[in-house]
A and B are shown apart, each in its own frame.
Chain A
Amino acid sequence: MIKFLKKTGLQDVIALIVILVGIIVIMSLSSNLFLSPRNITNLLIDSTTVGIIAVFSTMLMIGGGLDLSVASTAALCGVIIGVFQASLGIFPAVLIALAAGAIVGLVNGILVTYVGINPLITTLGMFSIARGLAFVFSNGLTIPVFDLSGEHQAAYDRFTILSEGSFLGLPYPVIAMLLLFALGVTVLHLSSYGRAMYAIGGNELASKMAALPVKRYRVTAYVLSGISAAIAAIFLTSRLYAADPRAAPGVELTVITAVILGGTSLAGGKGNLVGTFLGVMILSALLNGLRLQSTSTDLQNIIQGLVLLAAVGFEQVRTGNVNLDIRKMFSK
């Protein structure tokens, strides 16, 4: 198994598919509901928040960055929609939310690249700040997002259709996520931005010496990460008819787990979106299956933490940073 994981590329994808199928088999054996069309649809829609953000987190992490503030930013952007919709209308509110996501990302990016604060600390700080702002702007209350006055029915209908509409049986949020993954794959592998992410994550110093505008690319990656949180917030708010400052709890952890599970290196320079997509599906299936069996949130958290540690552990083994020789461990 370890030797198998050491080889990269296709083998990784196959390994992830095997894990995904394994989880699906186990979950469907333990609950009849798991494979029901309704649950599958729910599972897919649930996966979109994590999935949409994970696309851009993957790019960011390939470029050697990290963003722990995505879930808080999503909550903040949701609240911003909630606050501004009443006075400005729903669509201007959505645009403001997107701008807010970009600004949060910009601040993260500037702090990391120009001020030189460690990305973990920067975005951990922002994790707290954005969530705090969400509570301040909403007074800690859930803000209803639907047409209270009855005068802008059409606009709100268009907002609601974002999450309730479907095409060929696939709900719009799922289509949006798939499109973003497709766009992400194209950008990562064929564009200068994608190339820059691999170069900067692979060797930042060499990229600098090759006269690549490293800082600009890195700030861009944080801005996109912030915008992705806003996009996720738009779909979430549409689905819930409400903006909740408590929204998307623990999503940053799920995102990072999915990205690392998918084979993106924490050190940067390596990774791909096919892996991330499978990582998102694996975690969504796992958490959905656990919920069907009424597993407590606490236990879900424990399991998710274990998956994260296992994923990082496997990466260490695969990259040869540790030599996992069980016999040796016990012989001493």
Chain B
Amino acid sequence: MSKVLEMRNICKSFYGVKVLKNIPLELESGEVLALLGENGAGKSTLIKILNGDYQMDTGKILIDGQEVDFKEPSDSEKHGIKMIYQELHYAADLSVAENLFIGHLAKGSGPIGKHLIDWKKVNQDAKKALGLLNVDIDPKAMMRDLSVIERQIVEIIKAIYGNAKILVMDEPTAALTPPEVEMLFKIVNDLKAKGVAIIYISHRLEEVFHIAQRVMILRDGNHVATKNIEEVNSDSLVELMVGREIEERIIELSDNKATAPALEVSGLNKFGSFKDINFKLYEGEIVSIFGLLGSGQISLTRSIFGAERADRGSIKVYGHERKIRFAQDGKNAGIGFVPIDRKVRGLVLDMSVLKNLTLSNWNNLLTLGFFKNKKERAHSQKWIDALGIRMAGGIDTAVKFLSGGNQQKVVLARWLEANVKVLILNEPTWGVDVGARSDIYDQLDMLAKQGLAILVVSSDIHEVLAISHRILTIYDGQLTAEFSHKEASQDLLLNAAAGRLA
């Protein structure tokens, strides 16, 4: 094996803050190097330097032993480096073939033909390219009609077809279902066999053991260690990432004694999304809805809150029938909602922590439409202390400067400040690092003990098993089974969520 990439002593500062300190990175052809670290550890900065988005302050990058200088992304692409981002950049209304060859579609021959695209050849070439990885995707299909994994595969094929030698995959499995993850791993293995070197970034440690040969860990801009995968286990990795030991989470779920359901959903339907949904959620209870992505769970919870509208059915909160058409109706009924993508739907990023925290409930903070400054600060501070929200620079810091976990807590705190009785959380720990994750679990536990009814939607089976009193599985828009915490197991859940009931 040969070294395809070497990064030496990479340093980078932003506004005088050192975010990368003398980082070394070596990558050999045909290997997968997992790059690990908590959010803010410097992973993405390092990757952006490799891609030419940022320029390093000092340090060297060598490709095949030759020093290179990347000023912009096209420079790194010329040297065979390709990024596969979480959010893919593709043209949704063009076909797979067009996306693959965009910019150099095959032309025909003859005086006129040479100015026209030879669609037959384009589609044949596309078929051949797709065949490289043995995937069954129609080259004529529109990108928007593809599943997430299929789009990702197209993007990967486009990269290797463009002779990429080094692929950087940033959380590629974040939006994938378990079978799709398997598919991706198979493709990664194929790529390895073809000699492609891969830098793999993921928050999911079990994936790393599955796929990587070596791991490199960053913490606070420092290179902590680079190790062969055999030398580490998941505890030691977490310790290297976080810099301290994290105790195993012991789930201690109190028996639920409440009688009146906090939330009662009956006969809820939305055409094309979910069908005949019936369930109850009791005070002090954490119930998870587990299903493969796209099974209707997101639409269902959005409809309970009022972010979208169900066709028919009834929603009762503490016995009172509620007509929920808008988010305001949900809030007035005492329902809070923490969306998946907090940066897009959760937070006003440029506004301060304080203002984001009180956004859903101004009622007690206003006199004649003007804010009572002291009271607002006191209210916010209470939640910051209670949830342990950490931020440099205090309560007036723009919320965009907080880490993922702390941002998530701000959204959570907003609904607590709004005094909701039922809290719905969608994928509560996506993009949240290991340390903050167990923090959030503890807080949900605490809130449930205080009587909050919590409904969680998650595609992370470990999370679902760890935090729920009860688990409902959803498949193709319908609830398929219910498990108590004691009954539930990985196998049972996966089968029920895949529509295979024992």
Contact = CB atoms under 8 A, between A and B. Distances in A.
Contacts of A206: 344-348
Given A199-B348, A202-B351, A203-B347, A210 B370 contact: no
Interface residues of A, number: 21
Given A190-B370, A192-B371, A210 B349 contact: no
B376 to A, nearest CB: 10
A275 to B, nearest CB: 16
Contact of A198 (B344, B346, B351): B351
10 contacts: A190-B370, A191-B369, A195-B371, A198-B355, A203-B349, A209-B307, A209-B339, A209-B346, A211-B330, A212-B359
Given A190-B370, A195-B371, A199-B359, A211 B331 contact: yes
Summarize A's interface: helix, strand, loop or mixed: helix
Given A203-B349, A211-B327, 10 more contacts: A186-B370, A191-B369, A192-B362, A195-B355, A198-B351, A199-B359, A202-B351, A206-B344, A206-B347, A211-B306
Nearest to B71: A328
A203 B346 CA distance: 9
Interface in A292-306: none
Interface string B329-348: 01100000101000011111
A84 B155 CA distance: 67
B414 interface: yes
A210 to B, nearest CB: 4
B371 A191 contact: yes
B495 interface: no
Contacts of B370: 186, 190-192
A316 interface: no
A15 to B, nearest CB: 20
Contacts of B348: 198-199, 202-203, 206-207, 269
A193 B327 CA distance: 19
Which 5 pairs of residues, A with B, have the shortest CB-CB distance? A211-B331, A202-B348, A211-B327, A210-B359, A203-B348
Interface string A176-211: 000000000010001111010011001101111111
A213 interface: yes
A193 B351 CA distance: 15
A211 B331 CA distance: 6
Contact of A190 (B330, B371, B418): B371
Nearest to A193: B369
Interface of A: 186, 190-193, 195, 198-199, 202-203, 205-213, 269-270
A186 B368 CA distance: 13
Interface in B354-405: 355, 359-360, 362, 366, 369-371, 373
Given A190-B370, A190-B371, A211-B360, A205 B355 contact: no
A270 B350 contact: yes
Nearest to B358: A195
Nearest to B302: A209
Nearest to B418: A211
Contacts of B360: 210-212
A23 B35 CA distance: 55
Contacts of B22: none
B314 interface: no
B347 A208 contact: no
Chain B CB within 10 Å, residue with most, of A191, A202, A210: A210
B164 to A, nearest CB: 25
B222 interface: no
Nearest to B307: A209
A269 B496 CA distance: 45
B354 to A, nearest CB: 11
A192 B359 CA distance: 10
